[in-house]
Amino acid sequence: MAKHRNRLLAALPAADLNLLETQLQSVQLEKRRVLEAPNKTVDYVYFPETVIASVVAICGREERIEIGLIGCEGMTGLTVLMSDSKTPHSTYVQVEGEALRIETEAFRKLLAQSASLHNRLLRFAQVFTAQIAQTALANGRAKLEQRLARWILMAHDRTVADVVTMTHEFLAVMLGVRRASVTVALDGFEKKGVIEARRGSITVVDRKAIERMAGHFYGVPEAEFRRLIG
Amino acid sequence: MAKHRNRLLAALPAADLNLLETQLQSVQLEKRRVLEAPNKTVDYVYFPETVIASVVAICGREERIEIGLIGCEGMTGLTVLMSDSKTPHSTYVQVEGEALRIETEAFRKLLAQSASLHNRLLRFAQVFTAQIAQTALANGRAKLEQRLARWILMAHDRTVADVVTMTHEFLAVMLGVRRASVTVALDGFEKKGVIEARRGSITVVDRKAIERMAGHFYGVPEAEFRRLIG
DNA sequence: CCGCTACCGTACGTTTCCGTACTGAGAAAG
DNA sequence: CTTTCTCAGTACGGAAACGTACGGTAGCGG
């Protein structure tokens, strides 16, 4: 098995990993910690280990929605890969835990130093783009039940246990729907026996069934990940 | 004024532009011409001049939706910038016209040769990511009227005249809604006097009013473009 | 000029989700 | 142990958009 819990790091060739490792710093990140704020310079690039972060698009005061989820399979700060240092989006911790991080400027130097590293990580940017696109598709065409199933699957992919700590309220914000709609939908899930819902947490019981519920709306970015990162 | 009708090319520093120019080929692209098919290798990278192309996410047989629009402000084949050569999406011509193109392999060599060129173009990838994200937001939170207004504005930004050639049917596929819903909504637009609708075309009459209708759902990626490309 | 086809306008019952709001129950705080 | 707060369950009317479908009109091909 790989040395790193972060799968993106684990998949790096030794030379590139060595470059990074000297500057990586381990941190514990609490829930709701903001990693990137809209139109602010990114200070650190994070490689989550057990943390899961949400990337959220915002416009105006009220309109916001989650466009992607980043956990142990990836990294934040994709804008730095794009030779920039800001994004209009917000990124914050959804499930607390550990992550490795590196200062933006140091990271930028490493990218300039190793085209191989840069290219490797750009492939993850491609995966994440596919994830955003899939979110756009699901938001436009899927029923709430399917979208919720998709979200649970994505969160499940990024956790070690089968439990996701998350209130209906927060989930509603992520999906851009009413809190009550989430409650009703999750209730349906539990009655079908595919999850167990507790106050503030969801436990995956029958993953296969959830995958069937999500239908084609789950899987495309995940296949891209396997193809490009492995 | 810039030498190139494609704004991305026009904004390139002379050295990088020279590299590209020797290999660019001018082509006329008819409506519905497929530039990129899902999971197929990309043959050419296109820099639209008067062409407008749609990038569409597909899953299953029926579920599809437009995730972005690429015209004279950008380029197709972003996957090549990401050190890859396929995407799960489909890209095809929505409004016919001219474009410049370069073979993928030749393009890849130029990127390896000039980090400056690569970084410049990656910034456009960042802009396009913002566009996809905004689409996800609009699909999840906006009313059809707002989404339609947003689409018209984006198309308008990429045309020289004020006319967009597009049937309700096609527009419905792009937005992932019923054809009839588009008809009703466009009818509302025309009654307000903000557009003129003809058989198979829409003419922008009062752009400011359309911007007001789109509200916050229009503008974020456009601001990113100005910031990063200029 | 006629017929055909593609495109647009309209209608009706139905589904999904919203806005709002009230209530109860589990967890934390005093 | 009691208070307080957060979270979850439920309800009801209403808006948006859907599926389906029928008829009308513009413009093209013959």
**CA of A181: nucleotide with nearest C1':** C17
Which of A84, A122, A132 shows the shortest C-beta gap to B83?
A122
Mean pLDDT value across residues A175-186: 98
* Cβ of B181 less than 7 A from strand D: yes
pLDDT at B171: 97
Least Cα separation, residue A176 to chain B (angstroms): 6
Burial B154-187 (b: 16+ CB within 10 A, else e): bbbbbbeeebbbbebebbbbbbbbeeebbeebbe
Mean pLDDT value across residues B165-188: 97
Rounded percentage of chain B residues whose pLDDT exceeds 70: 99
B39, B66, B78, B84, best to mutate vs chain A, most A CBs in 10 Å: B84
Closest residue of B to A127, CA-based? Answer: B87
Q: pLDDT digit string (tens) for B113-129?
A: 999 999 999 999 999 99
Which of A63, A219, A220 shows the shortest C-beta gap to B137?
A63
Integer distance in angstroms from the first to the last C-alpha of chain B?
13
Burial A85-98 (b: 16+ CB within 10 A, else e): ebbbbbbbbbbbbe
Say how far A142 CA is from D18 C1', in Å.
Answer: 13
Confidence of residue B2 (pLDDT cuts 50, 70, 90): low
- β-bridge partners, B95: B52
Report H helices in chain B. Answer: 7-10, 14-21, 78-81, 104-113, 115-141, 144-157, 168-175, 179-191, 207-214, 220-228
Least Cα separation, residue A114 to chain B (angstroms): 11
Which residue is closest, via its CA, to the C1' of C16? A143
Between chains, do B63 and A217 touch, taking CB under 8 Å as contact?
Answer: yes
Give the integer Cα–Cα distance in Å for A18 and A45: 17
Is the model's pLDDT at A2 over the cut of 70? no
- β-bridge partners, B157: none
Give the integer Cα–Cα distance in Å for A149 and A175: 11
Give the integer Cα–Cα distance in Å for B45 and B105: 10
Say if CB B72 and CB B49 are below 8 A apart: yes
Q: Give the H/E segment covering residue B90.
A: strand B90-95
Across chain A, what does the average pLDDT equal?
Answer: 96
Mean pLDDT value across residues A56-62: 87
- β-bridge partners, B56: B66, B90
CA nearest B48: which of B81, B112, B90, B91? B91
What CA–CA distances, in Å, run from A28 to A101, B71, B194? 10, 44, 53
Is the model's pLDDT at A1 over the cut of 60? no
Give the integer Cα–Cα distance in Å for A91 and A100: 16
Is the model's pLDDT at B1 over the cut of 70? no
Is the model's pLDDT at A62 over the cut of 90? no
Mean pLDDT value across residues A200-214: 97
Query: Helix (H, G, I), strand (E, B), or coil: what is residue B135?
Result: helix
Say if CB A6 and CB A24 are below 8 A apart: no
Query: Which residues, by CB, come closer than 7 Å to strand C?
Result: A 143-145, 176-178, 180-181, 198-199; B 167-169, 179-180, 183-184, 186-187, 197, 199-200
Is the model's pLDDT at B143 over the cut of 70? yes
Across chain B, what does the average pLDDT equal?
Answer: 96
Query: Helix (H, G, I), strand (E, B), or coil: what is residue B47?
Result: strand
Beta strands in chain A (DSSP E): 25-29, 34-36, 44-48, 52-59, 63-70, 90-95, 97-103, 163-165, 195-198, 201-204
Q: pLDDT digit string (tens) for A119-172?
A: 999 999 999 999 999 999 999 999 999 999 999 999 999 999 999 999 999 999
Mean pLDDT value across residues B155-180: 96
Between chains, do A79 and B228 touch, taking CB under 8 Å as contact?
Answer: no
Q: Is the pTM of this model over 0.75?
A: yes
Parallel/antiparallel/unpaired status of strands A195-198 and B34-36? unpaired
Q: pLDDT digit string (tens) for B96-108?
A: 999 999 999 999 9
* Cβ of B212 less than 7 A from strand D: no
**Which of A2-6, A102-106, B152-156 is predicted least confidently?**
A2-6
Parallel/antiparallel/unpaired status of strands B195-198 and B201-204? antiparallel
Say if CB B68 and CB B127 are below 8 A apart: no
- β-bridge partners, A70: A53
Closest residue of B to A228, CA-based? Answer: B84
Is the model's pLDDT at B91 over the cut of 60? yes
